[in-house]
Structure 1
Amino acid sequence: MFGSDRTLYMAGNTLYTVSTTSATTTAIGSIGFQSGGDLAFVGGYLYMASDSNKLIQVNVNTGLGTKIGDLGVSQMFGLATPDNATLYGVAGQNIYTINVSTGGATFQSTFNPILSGGAFGLSFYTEAGATGTPGTTVVPEPGIFAVLGIGLVSMGFARRRKANY
């Protein structure tokens, strides 16, 4: 998970920073809980779902984790936010919103992932700094195909003309 300052974080039972240039890790400190999946920033705070189904707030300066509360859902592997205000989580094929004050997860929807068995992570295009409308594709205008076609036909005539001389 990238922080707003572009620092890359990862966690197991220890919080680390990862250098994106050398791929080296630096331990920040013990979280006190084992990560069960993704990390996500919401409102400037780093959150983690633990392997014991708890929402943990992690201090990025010390690594120390503070239990916010029980998620009420097992195997929450994905955390993400599209707007830096709402925290979402994925467990199997179910999507939940997570209350960052209590840790409680509320069912929102079921989806059909391409991989069998469910999702093992979650991200929104905005978390990666992407802009634009998701799901849109740039399609060349028909004029481009006309120019390409004229060029190919012209090359064919030029080749034929050269062959005749």
Structure 2
Amino acid sequence: MLQRMSGVFIGALFGTVFVVANAHEPLNPAIGIALRVLAVLTFAGLLTLALRAGRRGGPAPDDAEAPQADWFRGRFAFVVGAEAVLLVGGNLALRAAGAPEQTAVAWIALIVGLHFIALMAVWKRRSIVVPGATLTALGAIGLGMAATSAVVWVPFVSGVLSGVALLGGCAYAITATYRSTARP
């Protein structure tokens, strides 16, 4: 359960960072602050719930998705390595092509989403395809928006909404784990 939860925490942390870093203009400043505070409070709540589940003991969720013996080696390392190369190389290529700076967050969302889809095959966890597909779509939408007058909204669409998707996916996973530790 610890390996699975560490992946969930990484996702929740990055979801929080997506929101905190991108909840700015053209949003109303009060809305931006509210979104940042809500993201941080959500992360804190998820952390608290996961710690409570750990103290309760009990099994990890027993579902059709079989856990892997070691989630963070082998094919996982390959996926993360490819992700890093695509993140850096893609952003450098976008800059060299003169793309607006807002495309950086869209590219990050696209690649992170694709990395979740690849990890679905590695970890045999269908549940991560939902946030993966969502981030991929939000990244692609943001890249498309970058060529329009709506470019100022790319950080909200590809950043804030991606962060919300990550936090929501992590909330689902942590809640399922918490419920599985309940003793009948």
TM-score bracket, shorter-length normalisation: under 0.3
Greater helix share, 1 or 2?
A: 2
Greater strand share, 1 or 2?
A: 1
TM-score by length of 2: 0.23
TM-score by length of 1: 0.25
Computing the radius of gyration from Cα coordinates, the structure with the larger value is 1
**Higher normalized contact order (CA 8 Å, seq sep 6+, divided by chain length):** 2
